[in-house]
Amino acid sequence: MKTPPPVWLFDLDNTLHDAGGAAFAQITESMTVYMERELALTRAEAEHLRGRYWQRYGATLLGLVRHHGVKAAHFLHDTHALPGLEARLRSHPHDLAALGRLRGPKFILTNAPQAYAERVMAALGLGRYFDGVIGIEQMAMFGHLRPKPDARMLRTIAVRLKVPVHRCVLVEDTVGHQKSARRIGMRTVWMQRWLLDGIHGPEAGLALARRPVYVCARIRSLQALARWR
């Protein structure tokens, strides 16, 4: 019997494009300004809290919802307006070709809002290579957001896609997200292409040359996926 192809779950930022210069600085600034305004914080307080919530919950938004009653939709809309985003995005023909050659259904799985993901995909010409986009708004369970790396959400995604978890391959730059995925039986690929200047945030200090046991493969190009199964 022919083995069915994998179901690919791709992160977006810093996995399919370099978000460092194109988006992250602007998003970070927008979040800081939002927290200053909505929570009546000084800039230093907002920056500290933003980083603390990201490290603790994997997403600043979760801390704001849990501890301050912030409405997720309001936060996401306000912080991801990003005027001029498209002009700063860059795609590479060899990446698009690699995606086109990859067997199996492909989905975007991002902790960013759906509208932002769709803007980025349209600007980079990624849309025709993917079968769907799963943004943070679709990661709600029992009325609460459960973004990556929540294992319950990852299982639910597999159920929604009607595939067993062992057929799913999570391709991510955030290696901590892969720990939960591997624990429930997904295969995991650590995209390091835009991490060569070092890892920041919750994973600071983790060596790029070292492969954690929960990472099945390390890659620095999408072309490498065609050689890995």
Whole-number pLDDT of residue 203: 53
The mean pLDDT of 130-146, rounded to a whole number, is 95
| 7-17+90-227 and 22-85 share one fold | no
Q: What kind and span of H or E run contains 102?
A: none
Residue 226: per-residue pLDDT:
81
Give the tens place of pLDDT for each residue, 65-94: 999 999 999 999 999 999 999 999 988 999
Tell me the average pLDDT across 27-55: 97
- Element at 172 (helix H, strand E): strand 168-172
Domain ranges of the chain: 7-17+90-227, 22-85
Name 48's bridge partners: none
Mean pLDDT score, 165-180: 95
Cα 117 versus chain centre, distance? 10
Residue 20 pLDDT class (50, 70, 90 cuts): confident
CB atoms < 10 A from the CB of 201, how many? 11
CATH 3.40.710.10 fits 7-17+90-227, yes or no: no
In the prediction, which pLDDT does 182 show? 98
pLDDT the model gives residue 2: 81
Contacting residues for 98 by C-beta, under 8 A, at least 6 apart: 221, 222, 223, 225, 226
The bridge status of strand 187-191 relative to strand 144-145 is unpaired
pLDDT tens by residue, 94-108: 999 999 999 999 999
| Residue 229 banded pLDDT, cuts 50, 70, 90 | low
Dist. CA 113–CA 100, nearest whole Å: 25
pTM above 0.95, yes or no: no
**Would you say domain 22-85 falls under CATH 3.40.50.10140?**
no
